[in-house]
């Protein structure tokens, strides 16, 4: 375990962190998985300055140069495993709350869990469920945020569709501080869902931060693309899309595109 600035900023009641601040790794999610196999049931947390094999959703790559936040948290599940999708939403809410607190920037959540500022992606979350660890289920919550990332050397498509926090607020931001704040916000929300309050406060918070609901969307389901209005979210995190014929479809996995109103005419 390494002592690091971020660790002194932790205010934790639920998580028992086994914190690793490292320079470079293939993927912080992979490193947490390895740590979990060695020594559950602590909460391994890895914060890396860069990744050489960062993973995105659907097997995509996550470009991970210096300047970004690459953070993974191993969370032991204390709710029924069927409810584990709520953790993806919980982590999304924790990230939005932290970015808003530290930068005052109005970041929102695009379903299922992209962090967006003015329709440009500033971060993403990859949650992986780990089974087979004695009696425990773990969720590895991997968070990637363009904090001080220089996007100028990146592919033109990335430049067009992405942004960084530093470019929005006009100055660099402490990655350690943001990481600690996100971890603290995950901690309080875990306490909440494991208490009598259950998952309802997270569902409400997610709705408040959502920039997808109410929008016309097209969803790539792999074998087909559907279009319609995003009208809600189920308790297991599926997006409810109302198609032209009025029938609601529940989308569990897929890529969503927000359509402008003139795209749907």
Write the CB contacts of 80 (distance below 8 Å, at least 6 apart in sequence).
Answer: none
Nearer to ligand BTN, 44 or 124 (CB): 124
Question: Which letter, b or e, does each residue of 123-160 get, where b requires 16 or more Cβ atoms within 10 Å of its Cβ?
Answer: bbbbbbebeeeeeebbbbbbbbbbbbbebeeeeeeeee
In 3D space, the residue among 141, 2, 143 whose CA is nearest the CA of residue 69 turns out to be: 143
Residue nearest to ligand BTN (CB): 124
Nearer to ligand BTN, 7 or 51 (CB): 51
Nearer to ligand BTN, 144 or 237 (CB): 144
What is the spatial distance between Cα 174 and Cα 191, in angstroms, rounded to a whole number? 26
Q: Pairing mode, if any, of strands 17-25 and 43-51?
A: parallel
Length of the chain: 265
Nearer to ligand BTN, 68 or 192 (CB): 68
CB of 59 to ligand BTN, least distance (A): 10
CB of 265 to ligand BTN, least distance (A): 30
Nearer to ligand BTN, 130 or 229 (CB): 130
Neighbours of 92 (CB within 10 A): 30
CB of 246 to ligand BTN, least distance (A): 32
What is the spatial distance between Cα 221 and Cα 237, in angstroms, rounded to a whole number? 16
Residues that bind ligand BTN (CB under 6 A): 27-29, 51, 54-57, 60, 62, 70-72, 114, 124-126, 142-144
CB of 94 to ligand BTN, least distance (A): 14
CB of 29 to ligand BTN, least distance (A): 4
- With beta carbons less than 8 A apart as the criterion, state whether 69 and 115 touch: no
Nearer to ligand BTN, 69 or 229 (CB): 69
Which two tokens mark 261?
């109103």
What are the backbone angles phi and psi of residue 48, rounded to the nearest 5°?
-115, 150
Q: Measure the CA dihedral 122/261/210/45, to 10°.
A: -30
Nearer to ligand BTN, 15 or 62 (CB): 62
CB of 113 to ligand BTN, least distance (A): 7
CB of 204 to ligand BTN, least distance (A): 24
């Amino acid at each position: 375990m390494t002592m690091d600035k971020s660790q002194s900023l932790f205010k934790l009641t639920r998580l028992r962190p086994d914190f690793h601040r490292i320079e470079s790794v293939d993927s912080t999610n992979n490193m947490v998985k390895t740590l979990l196999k060695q020594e559950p049931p602590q909460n391994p947390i890895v914060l890396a300055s860069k990744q050489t094999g960062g993973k995105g959703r659907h097997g995509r790559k996550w470009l991970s140069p210096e300047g970004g936040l690459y953070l993974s948290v191993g969370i032991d599940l204390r709710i029924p495993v069927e409810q584990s999708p709520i953790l993806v939403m919980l982590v999304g809410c924790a990230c939005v709350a932290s970015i808003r607190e530290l930068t005052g920037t109005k970041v929102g959540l695009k379903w299922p869990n992209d962090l967006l500022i003015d329709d440009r992606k500033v971060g993403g979350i990859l949650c992986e469920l780990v089974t087979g660890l004695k009696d425990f289920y773990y969720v590895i919550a991997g968070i990637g945020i363009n904090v001080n990332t220089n996007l100028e050397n990146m592919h033109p498509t990335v430049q067009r569709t992405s942004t960084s926090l530093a470019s929005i607020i006009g100055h660099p931001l402490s990655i350690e501080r943001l990481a600690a704040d996100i971890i603290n916000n995950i901690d309080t929300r875990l306490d909440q869902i494991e208490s009598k309050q259950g998952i309802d406060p997270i569902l409400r918070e997610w709705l408040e931060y959502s920039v997808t609901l109410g929008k016309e969307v097209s969803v790539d389901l792999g074998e087909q693309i559907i279009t319609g209005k995003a009208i809600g979210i189920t308790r297991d995190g599926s997006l409810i899309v109302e198609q032209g014929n009025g029938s609601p479809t529940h989308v569990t996995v897929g890529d969503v595109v927000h359509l402008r109103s003139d795209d749907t005419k």
